[in-house]
Each structure stands twice: as structure tokens, then as C-alpha cells.
């Protein structure tokens, strides 16, 4: 896996989170909105699935339980997150690899690719999206979830708190990235109306769905 100064900072941060319980906290923090979103997806046909920035693997484990799932793969820049994921495996359908999306070497293609709160850590969102597009089958979909976007003022200060590179963009800019990569684009806000945090009730998680045109 290639390394840059930014990636090294991200890796160190997430290695630390893998050890201090933050991985499980992220599962709790993001779980409600992610599960709401996943319920809107039809998994009626056999499919393969990739989670980019899988953390402790909780989304992969969830998806692997779908009866039509043939394979669910998770990748993460943090080796310690991948070790956690492998320890928590529940099915032979699951696989986890220590890599970033730009460096990932994989011969097959996926029906669905998913990313929650991870794509904005990439050195280049454009390059990451280009690789994701290549890894999708024609007609395949990429689901990208983020709480960190300029329209959501409460979260835009996260980069300063984290002290690592995080690319902050508006909803409009995210849509443009996807269109430039060749995707047909849709967006959806998933809100948690019972949450104590105002931004989770009013803005919620922005999900950008990119569909690769069928040939």
C-alpha cells in the first residue's frame, strides 16, 4: 500500500481508535442512519459488496447476512481496524484487507460499493472515485455517506479538531465529483429526528448515490 504523509496521519488516528473503543463508538454513532439507508436498497438479486473504510467491519457483517450476498469485502487504511474486523468475522462470505481504495488490487467487480465517513480522507477524492467507478459492474452503485459537509455547519470544524487532512465540500461539490467520474447521481438526507444533537435532527447524514451506467 502506497503511503503519503496524509495517509500516515489517518492510519495512526484510526489505529488508535481501533484500540481505544472508538471503533465501536463509530458503529453506534453512525449505525442508526446507515441502517435506515441500507433498508432503502433492494438486495433481491445475487450481489457482491465492498465497504471502503470498513472500520471494525460492522457494515460488512450486516450485509453478509443478506441471503443474496455472495461476497462482502471490507478494506481499511488502518491495519489494527482490519485485525479487529477479522476477529469479529461471522461468515465465510466476509473478507477484510489492509489497503486504501486507490491501491486496492482486485480482479473482480462489485455490484455495490459503500463508504461511510471515509472518502474525504483520501489524498484525492477524484482519484478514489475513478477507482471505485472501475471496480463497479455496469449498472452497479456506489453509496457514499458523510456527516462532514459544508452545508452542515456543526460538523465543518471537525478537521481542526482531528488535526488531519479532511476534504470539506458542499453537497453541490460532491455531486459534481460524482458526475465528473461518470456516475448518474442522486442524493438523500437521512435524519435522526429523536437525536439530542440539533445537526443530526436538521441536517443528518448526506448520502450520495452514484450509478455506473449499464452498457
Look at residue 202 in the predicted model and tell me its pLDDT: 85
Structural domains present in the chain: 5-20+45-211 (3.40.50.150)
Is pTM beyond 0.75? Reply is yes
Confidence of residue 119 (pLDDT cuts 50, 70, 90): very high
Most confident of 1-5, 144-148, 161-165: 144-148
Q: In this model, does residue 194 exceed pLDDT 90?
A: no
CA-based torsion, 67, 71, 76, 78: positive or negative: positive
Phi, psi dihedral angles at 34 (to 5 degrees): -65, -45
Report, as an integer, the average pLDDT of 102-108: 92
Look at residue 76 in the predicted model and tell me its pLDDT: 95
Here the contacts of 126-132 (C-beta below 8 Å, separation 24 or greater) are 126/177, 126/180, 126/181, 127/102, 128/52, 128/101, 128/102, 129/177, 129/178, 129/180, 129/181, 129/183, 129/210, 130/181, 131/101, 131/102, 131/104, 132/52, 132/101, 132/181, 132/210
Look at residue 185 in the predicted model and tell me its pLDDT: 98
Look at residue 89 in the predicted model and tell me its pLDDT: 96
The average confidence (pLDDT) of the chain is: 89
Q: In this model, does residue 81 exceed pLDDT 90?
A: yes
Confidence of residue 184 (pLDDT cuts 50, 70, 90): very high
Amino acid at each position: 500500500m502506497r503511503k503519503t504523509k496524509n495517509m500516515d496521519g489517518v492510519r495512526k488516528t484510526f489505529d488508535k481508535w481501533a484500540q481505544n473503543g472508538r471503533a465501536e463508538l463509530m458503529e453506534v454513532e453512525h449505525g442508526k442512519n446507515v441502517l435506515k439507508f441500507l433498508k432503502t436498497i433492494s438486495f433481491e438479486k445475487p450481489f457482491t459488496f465492498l465497504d471502503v473504510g470498513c472500520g471494525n467491519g460492522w457494515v460488512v457483517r450486516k450485509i453478509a447476512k443478506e441471503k443474496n450476498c455472495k461476497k462482502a469485502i471490507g478494506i481499511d487504511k488502518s491495519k489494527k481496524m482490519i485485525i479487529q474486523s477479522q476477529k469479529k468475522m461471522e461468515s465465510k462470505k466476509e473478507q477484510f484487507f489492509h489497503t486504501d481504495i486507490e491501491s486496492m488490487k482486485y480482479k473482480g467487480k462489485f455490484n455495490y460499493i459503500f463508504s461511510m465517513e471515509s472518502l474525504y480522507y483520501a489524498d484525492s477524492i477524484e482519484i478514489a472515485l475513478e477507482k471505485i467507478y472501475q471496480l463497479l459492474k455496469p449498472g452497479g452503485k456506489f453509496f457514499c455517506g458523510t456527516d462532514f459537509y459544508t452545508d452542515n455547519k456543526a460538523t465543518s470544524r471537525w478537521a481542526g479538531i482531528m488535526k488531519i487532512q479532511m476534504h470539506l465540500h458542499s453537497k453541490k461539490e460532491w455531486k459534481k465529483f460524482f458526475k465528473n467520474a461518470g456516475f448518474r447521481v442522486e442524493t438523500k438526507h437521512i435524519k435522526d429526528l429523536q437525536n439530542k444533537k440539533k445537526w443530526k435532527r436538521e441536517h443528518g447524514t448526506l448520502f450520495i448515490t452514484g450509478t455506473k451506467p449499464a452498457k
